[in-house]
Amino acid sequence: MALTAFERNVADAATVTAALNGSALGSYWIDSVTRPTYPALDADAHADLAIVGGGYSGLWTALLAKERDPDRDVILLEGGRIGWAASGRNGGFCEPSLTHGRSNGERRWPDDIDALDALGEDNLAEIEATVARYGMDVEFERNGSLTVAVEPHQLDWLGEDALDAAGVRALVNSPTYLGGDHDAVGALVHPFKLAAELARVASELGVRIHERTPVRALHGTDLVTDAGAVVARRVALGTNAFRPLLRRNRLMTVPVYDYVLVTEPLSDAHMASIGWQGRQGVGDMGNQFHYYRLTADNRILFGGYDAIYHAGRRVRREYEDRRESFERLASHFLTTFPQLTGVKFTHRWAGAIDTCSRFSAFFGTARGGAVAYALGYTGLGVGATRFGANVMLDLLAGESTERTELAMVRDRPLPFPPEPLTTVGVNLTRRSLNKADHHRGKRDALLRTLDAVGMGFDS
């Protein structure tokens, strides 16, 4: 078994501990912004459209619903605070892909892949236009992305116009880089600011937003909350990794925990040592991959690699502080950027990703078309949730559009099995992915079987 780049050059354990000491458990993104506050629901209510979920999916649905019909009465219910979950904890990579990369989409929907790519690029352009139209302070940067090879076998996976080691290191200076692809299309955002600004704009357009109002049940199109019922003509569900309100979706997703670190602001000398003048988002090519980027004040966000599932499909606060994962990330950070030894991490956190078996969102309706849902973004929802919001609104309107005619929208992924089979299956798959990373990317019988039935994953 071959060692990976992160095992051949392991950071000193004392250095890792020193880098993590004093870090706060909590999202840097949320801590860096004054949170907006919206009242809890305190009485029964009526609406033309009720939206469940105050993350990107629900907030985009609310904003777009009012843009389509300013007279529509829209109410949005969030069980916690706006943007507190995945929308305030992700890396802020706003990608054009709707399918978790072209290869994933091409494998599943070859006849639609060109249309899906075009729709994804249009969707990203419309996000940028919305940010400009409403003066949204979200730190939107169209800096593109770098996909870097850190193992020799990964060089074969790069495109025809790939950069060699010297070329990619001229953009971002890491001794681990052997080559890379540069894509100029992608964008970065401050993820929590995006959620907060979507809420601001939706509220200004007339959407009634209620925080700390968990929806306990859905009866027809009536939503049951602790404060009373919300009677709605139409309902859109954007519950992400949390327990779905529709029984048909109970086995469709699993919450997988992703872990993230953020450094203190880098000095001018540190910035000079790593280059990165183009401020691109970066991801490496392992099955267990890392993603990283600069913040507006030149911190480095460094996340990924571990993807931890806890038995029972539970989302719990105690899962967020996993010392083993943070120490591994810190070590891999110092392997990637040894010139930053001595830099400290100020924040560490985790969040649950709504993972489905095809690794990109799925859509549908219930209750005679009066309820729509979009779930399963699997970590690529910063941009794709806007597309999903439009799909839900199309479906609720009973409209046949280019979006609703896509096989991606019409198809449903395979469900995960009930427990304990899901726990066994997820852990076996993680073991096989790890083995592939240590065997020049070669996929074993389990991974080949999952590929054949449409449940295969590579980064």
Per-residue pLDDT reduced to its tens digit, 79-137:
999 999 999 999 999 999 999 988 899 999 999 999 999 999 999 999 999 999 999 99
436 and 366 in a single domain? The answer is no
The answer as to whether 258 is a domain residue is yes
Q: What is the mean pLDDT of the chain?
A: 95
- In this predicted model, what pLDDT tens digit does every residue of 345-375 receive, in sequence order? 999 999 999 999 999 999 999 999 999 999 9
Residues 129, 219, single domain; the answer is: yes
Structure tokens at 125: 């352009």
| Contact residues for 100 (Cβ-Cβ < 8 A; gap 6+) | 359, 360, 378, 379, 380
Backbone φ and ψ of 444, nearest 5° = -85, -175
Total count of domains within the chain: 2
DSSP class of residue 424 equals H
**Residue position matching structure tokens 């806890």:** 310
Cβ-based neighbour number of residue 138 at 10 Å: 22
Note whether 246 and 395 are same-domain residues.
yes
Q: Are residues 331 and 433 in the same domain?
A: no
How many residues make up the chain in this entry? Answer: 459
Residue 458, pLDDT score: 52
- Contact in structure between 169 and 273 (CB atoms under 8 Å): no
Q: Do both 435 and 315 map to the same domain?
A: no
Phi, psi (rounded to 5 degrees) for 103:
-65, -40
Split at pLDDT 50, 70, 90, the class of 437 is confident
- Can you give the pTM of this predicted structure? 0.96
Residue with tokens 């929208």: 409
Do 290 and 399 lie in a common domain? yes
d(CA 180, CA 102): 17
Question: Please, are residues 238 and 61 in contact by the beta-carbon 8 Å criterion?
Answer: yes
Percent of the chain with pLDDT over 90: 87
CATH number of the structural domain spanning residue 226: 3.50.50.60
Q: In terms of domains, do 430 and 326 share one? A: no
Paired tokens of 232? 């709605």
Residue with tokens 């309706």: 365
Do 89 and 178 sit in the same domain of this protein? Answer: yes
Claim to verify: residue 397 and residue 428 sit in the same structural domain: no
Give the pLDDT confidence score for residue 46 in this predicted structure. Answer: 98
Report the pLDDT value the prediction gives residue 449, as an integer from 0 to 100: 79
The CA angle 356-362-367, to the nearest 5 degrees, is: 120
In this structure, the answer to whether residues 405 and 436 fall within a common structural domain is: no
DSSP 275: B
User: Is residue 237 in a domain?
Assistant: yes
Asked whether the beta carbons of 58 and 243 are under 8 A apart, the reply is no
**What average pLDDT does this structure show over 370-390?**
97
- pLDDT on residue 456: 66
Whether 416 is covered by a domain: the verdict is no
458 occurs within a structural domain: no
Domain that holds residue 438: 421-452
The verdict on 142 and 186 lying in the same domain is yes
222 found inside a domain: yes
Residues 67-101 as b or e (16 or more Cβ within 10 Å = b): eeeeebbbbbbbbebbbbbbbbbbbbbbbbbbbbb
In this prediction, residue 457 has a pLDDT band, given cuts at 50, 70 and 90, of: low
Concatenated DSSP letters of 216-260: EEEETTEEEETTEEEEEEEEEE--TTSPPSSGGGTTTEEEEEEEE
On whether residue 459 sits in a domain, the answer given is no
Q: How many CB atoms lie within 10 A of CB 269?
A: 8
Rounded alpha-carbon distances, angstroms, from residue 420 to 216, 311, 334: 26, 7, 37
Within a domain: residue 415? no
What's the rounded mean pLDDT across residues 294-317? 94
459 band by pLDDT with thresholds 50, 70 and 90:
very low
Q: Using omega within 30 degrees of 0 as the cis cutoff, is the peptide bond preceding 420 cis? A: yes
**Interacting residues of 80 by C-beta distance below 8 A, sequence separation 6+:** 54, 211, 212, 214
- The reply to whether 385 and 430 lie within a common domain is no
Which DSSP helix (H) or strand (E) runs through 428? helix 421-437
